[in-house]
Every structure is written in structure tokens, then in C-alpha cells.
Amino acid sequence: MSPNRFDLNKKTVLVTGGAGQIGEAVCAGLVDHRGTVVVGDVDREAGESLAERLGERASFVECDITDEDSVQSAVESVLDRHGRLDVVVNAAYPIDETYGTPLEELNPETWRHNIDMHLNGFYTVIKTAADVMRAQGSGSIINFGSTYGIQAPDFSIYEEADMDSSPVHYSASKGGILNLTRYLASYLGSDGIRVNAVSPGGVFDDQDQRFVEAYEKRTPLGRMAEPEDIVGAVVFLASDAASYITGHNLVVDGGWTIQ
């Protein structure tokens, strides 16, 4: 296989949540592989600053995946600037003040709101992008899943650190996103659109040291992920090197889910 199949030189990529911890690393990695990257985020200041640091191959567009009009406007802006949309990376992670509510305190309204922001937000982006890609006859959609969309959390590592565990609606959303990915890969394949997922394990973000130690002890590679560890998987799935891959969930977790 020719190395240039990993080259994104002729691809325009929209990254939702592009100014976030993982999103920033992903945007930088896509630019490194010569992609034209549009940083989509609700945080204008952070998004514009990132795009400026990344240089001429990057720009910013305001994009709130929980708002259909915002998503539509963002996609139209990409088309106005670049004439096409080749890749969408769904990396946004919408939360509010109710995030982390434990099961015992989670009322139906809070449950529905969090599922709506996350799972339905991803759907809104996918549906809007797919309409464009169908007209083009090609495209790649990459959804961020999670190890917690594959299996349940190990609650003991949170208990050791005396910290809140990942909430139930997060696992439900991520599980839904992974099967939505498989469904749409089958549904959109005849339109030349590939749909895949990347599922990271725990990413280091200055968590309680007791949590970090417990997490790393359970992980075969003996450490939490850094944001840069996730980049290669996204670049691969966005590139022509993955042209015969669709409906796949690429797990990047240091071996967490093999146990």
C-alpha cells in the first residue's frame, strides 16, 4: 500500500468538539496529514485560538450539536468555504450541570435531557453531513464511542478514589452511538459513505491520583491514554487507507476491554 493513501491533502474535515481535550489533538493530527480542518465547537474563543495555532489549513466554525440550526449552519459554512465535506469527526461531548448525577438521583427529565444532548446530538450531525455526502457520492463519518459503550465501568476504581463514577446516561449514549454507527454503515454504504467509530479508553486529565493508579493497574499497557494516542485511529479511518472499512469500532484503550 502506498504511504500516500494516508495523505488527507484533498479532504475537508469538520471536527465537532474540535476545541476539546481530544478534539484539539485530533485536529492537529489531521492538519499534520495535510487535511483541511474546520474546528467546530461551542467555545468560539478556544476554537478560533486553536485554528490560528494550526495555521492556514485550519479554520473555526461555531457548532453546537444540541442545536439543529447550529449544525446546519456549520455544515453550510464548510460548504461555502471549501465546496465539499469529505469527513466528519463527531467528537463533541455535551454536558451540563446535571452531568454525573448518580442513578439513585437521576429523574426521567434529566435522563432524557442528557441522552438528547449526546446521542441525538450525534445523530443530528450525522444526518446533516450524510445529506451532503450522499450528493457527493462519497464521505467518511467517524463517531466517538467509548469503552463504556462496550462494557460496564469497573466501579471499584472510582470507589478507591472516592470520586463519582461515569454516569449511566453516558454508557447508554455511547452504546447507542456504536450501534447507530453499524446501522448507518449498512444503510449508507451504497451511497459511498463509510461510517466508523473510535472508542478511547480512559484519557489522563489530572484525575485524582488514586483513580489514575487504580485505572493503570487494571490496564495491560499500564497507563491511561494521552489525547495524542487517539489521533492515529482517526487519521486512519479518515484516509483512503481505510477505504474498505465501514461499520467498525476501533478501540484505543491500552487493552482495557480485553479483560
Q: Annotated active-site positions, please?
A: 158
Amino acid at 89: V
The three-point CA angle 25-147-39 to 5° equals 25
- Distance between CA 105 and CA 192 in Å, rounded? 44
Contact by Cβ (8 Å): 224, 215: yes
Instruction: Spell out where 107-200 has E strands.
Output: 139-144, 193-200
Where helices occur in 17-107 by DSSP H, the ranges are: 21-32, 44-54, 68-82
The cell for 110 is: 434529566
Using CA atoms, how far residue 118 sits from 51, 197, 237, in Å, is 24, 15, 22
Identify any residues that bridge with 252 across adjacent strands, giving them in sequence order: 200
The cell for 225 is: 491514554
Say which residue the cell 482517526 belongs to: 234
Say which residue the cell 451532503 belongs to: 132
Task: List the one residue out of 122, 168, 236 whose CA is nearest residue 252.
Answer: 236
Calculate the dihedral angle through the C-alpha atoms of 240, 82, 47, 57, rounding to the nearest 10 degrees. 60
The cell for 93 is: 461531548
